[in-house]
């Protein structure tokens, strides 16, 4: 005859589980582990507090790099990088943000060099043109209008033909950024019409730019959509005018006169 195994009832199973004794060795290990973790965290906090309040990591040297417009004293004041400050508690991100809020600062990076040194690296904005919109402003290569010209004496091309109410979020209007593209092309290699020989770029509202030469204030008309082509052609025309000694008599040059044609108007000639 087969033996029938009796299934334990749920009540019996619960009693069996309840009747199991806790392993004291495992309990001891668990409690010891919790205590070790707690003591380690507490010790770390005490050590950090001691180091932060002590003299081990106190700031003694501040090195400032890349600053021209901002003085070293200004940088230290803005970043609150005073001698004696704890390097452990110093907030580099907050200090970087404070610097980047300044008009001339494009980017700032601050690095702690333990035990007692702070290195502040600044990338300042470089003006490439002056915007004349009722007031004279400085413009960088990205089209950011970042400061007024004030009493500064800078020999830079002037961008005109833009109304003040067209400026949004301290940026040149999109159509006006063609002037910066032209200056970038003019700076690419030796040219007769280099950025140094451009006094003004006037937008006429019709998609064209009047580029005035610095030496004779001769207006050269170019199309914003054909800048590279028109600049190359203008170079050839100017080269011919210089060689033929006709340049002094030039009143205007139009690079958009017709397909593959340029028009040169001479003074006194109708």
Q: pTM, whole model, 2 decimals?
A: 0.76
Is the same domain home to 136 and 258?
yes
Does residue 51 fall inside a structural domain?
no
Residue 225: inside a domain, yes or no? Answer: yes
Q: What is the pLDDT of residue 48?
A: 47
Q: Are residues 109 and 179 in the same domain?
A: no
Residues 110 and 174 in one domain: no
Could you tell me the CATH number of the domain that includes residue 234?
3.40.50.11690
Q: List the pLDDT tens digit at each of the 270 positions of the chain.
A: 455 444 445 545 444 444 455 567 776 676 767 667 765 665 455 444 544 454 678 999 999 999 999 999 999 999 999 998 989 889 999 999 999 999 999 999 999 999 999 999 999 999 999 999 999 999 999 999 999 999 999 999 999 999 999 999 999 999 999 999 999 999 988 888 999 999 999 998 889 999 999 999 999 999 999 999 999 999 999 999 999 999 999 999 999 888 788 999 999 876
Other CB atoms within a 10 A radius of the CB of residue 21 amount to 5
154 and 80, same structural domain?
no
> Among the three residues 90, 105, 124, which one is the final residue of a domain in this structure?
124
1 is a domain residue:
no
10 belongs to a structural domain:
no
CATH of the domain at 108: 3.10.20.310
169 and 115 inside one domain: no
Show the domain range for 105: 61-124
Residue 44 counted as domain residue: no
Distance CA 235, CA 71 (A): 42
Based on the fold, state whether residues 205 and 137 are members of the same structural domain: yes
Per DSSP bridges, beta strands 136-140 and 105-113 are unpaired
Q: Per the structure, how many domains does the chain have?
A: 2
Find, among 154, 151, 95, the residue nearest to 126 by Cα.
154
What integer pLDDT is reported at residue 131 of this predicted model? 97
Beta-ladder partners of 27: none
Domain boundary among 75, 97, 124: 124
**Are 114 and 139 members of one domain?**
no
Q: Is residue 178 part of a domain?
A: yes
One domain, residues 118 and 241: no
Q: Tell me the pairing of strands 117-124 and 105-113.
A: antiparallel
Q: Do residue 146 and residue 244 come from a single domain?
A: yes
- Give the relative orientation of helices 92-100 and 72-79 as an angle to the nearest 10 degrees: 130
Tell me: do 98 and 229 sit in the same domain. Answer: no
115 with 191, same domain: the answer is: no
Is residue 162 one of the residues assigned to a domain? yes
Residue 34 lies in a domain: no
Q: State which of 124, 139, 173 marks the end of a domain.
A: 124
Q: Please tell me the number of Cα atoms within 13 Å of 55 on its side-chain side.
A: 0
Same-domain check for residues 141 and 83: no
């Amino acid at each position: 005859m087969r033996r029938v195994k009796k299934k334990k009832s749920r009540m019996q199973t619960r009693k069996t589980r309840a009747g199991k004794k806790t392993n004291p060795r495992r309990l001891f290990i668990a409690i010891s582990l919790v205590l070790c973790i707690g003591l380690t965290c507490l010790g770390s906090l005490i050590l950090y507090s001691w180091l932060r309040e002590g003299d081990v990591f106190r700031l003694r040297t501040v090195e400032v790099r890349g600053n021209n417009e901002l003085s070293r004293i200004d940088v230290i004041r803005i970043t609150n990088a005073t001698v004696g400050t704890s390097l452990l508690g110093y907030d580099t991100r907050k200090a970087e943000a404070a610097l980047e809020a300044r008009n001339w600062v494009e980017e700032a990076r601050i690095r702690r060099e333990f035990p007692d040194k702070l290195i502040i690296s600044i990338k300042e904005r470089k003006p490439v043109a002056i915007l004349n919109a009722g007031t004279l402003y400085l413009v960088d290569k990205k089209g950011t209008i970042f400061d007024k010209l004030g009493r500064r004496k800078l020999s830079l091309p002037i961008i005109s033909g833009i109304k003040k109410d067209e400026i949004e979020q301290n940026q040149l209007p999109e159509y006006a950024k063609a002037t910066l593209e032209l200056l970038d092309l003019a700076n690419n290699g030796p040219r007769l019409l280099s950025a140094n020989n451009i006094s003004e770029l006037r937008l006429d509202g019709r998609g064209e730019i009047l580029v005035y030469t610095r030496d004779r204030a001769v207006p050269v008309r170019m199309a914003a959509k054909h800048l590279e082509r028109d600049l190359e052609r203008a170079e050839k025309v100017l080269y011919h005018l210089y060689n033929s000694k006709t340049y002094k008599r030039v009143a205007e040059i139009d690079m958009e006169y017709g397909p593959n044609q340029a028009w040169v108007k001479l003074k006194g000639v109708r």
